[in-house]
Amino acid sequence: WNFSHFLLGPIYSVKIGKTLTWDLKAKLGVVNSDKPEIFISYFKNTGSGFIYNGFIYRTKSRADFSYSLGTSFRYAFTKRLALFLTGDYIHTSPNINTEIQVQNSNTPYTISSIDTNYKISSLNLAFGLVYQFKRKGNKFE
């Protein structure tokens, strides 16, 4: 699977002491989902020789609505640098079309086309260092 997303939304920050900030995030946007192509092949003995058969499960990319909810903590240890810990939940439910093709020794042909609704969610956890622009009210100013 491959996902790329573009989300926008507000971040509300709450100061907890002089160096700790808690952020609340709610975002809406679009996620593009790509399901991998699957190829299954085999050879069949017909008595007079082998013939090749294969199945290809092809899907199309699909862009759908998505939302994300998250929270993070920033601990400032200098005027501009802070330790960052975040958690974000993202959800989308794309309706992806899968085309099933048969490939044999003669010609490929499509045997079916199926629309499937996938419910996709992920929890992303991260930590690191951040550079803070125009940070006000901490003990280093």
Say what the pLDDT of residue 73 is: 95
The predicted pLDDT at position 62 comes to 79
Per-residue pLDDT of the chain (141 residues; tens, 9 = 90+): 777 889 999 999 999 988 899 999 999 999 888 777 777 766 666 677 666 667 677 777 778 899 999 999 999 888 889 999 999 999 998 888 777 777 665 666 667 777 778 888 999 999 999 887 775 654 444
pTM given for the model: 0.68
Q: Which residues contact 24 (CB under 8 A, 6 or more apart)?
A: 11, 12, 13, 14, 70, 71
pLDDT of res. 110: 63
CA distances to 49, 58, 125 from 105, in Å: 12, 19, 49
The maximal CA–CA distance of the chain, rounded, in angstroms, is: 86
Confidence at residue 140, expressed as pLDDT on a 0 to 100 scale: 46
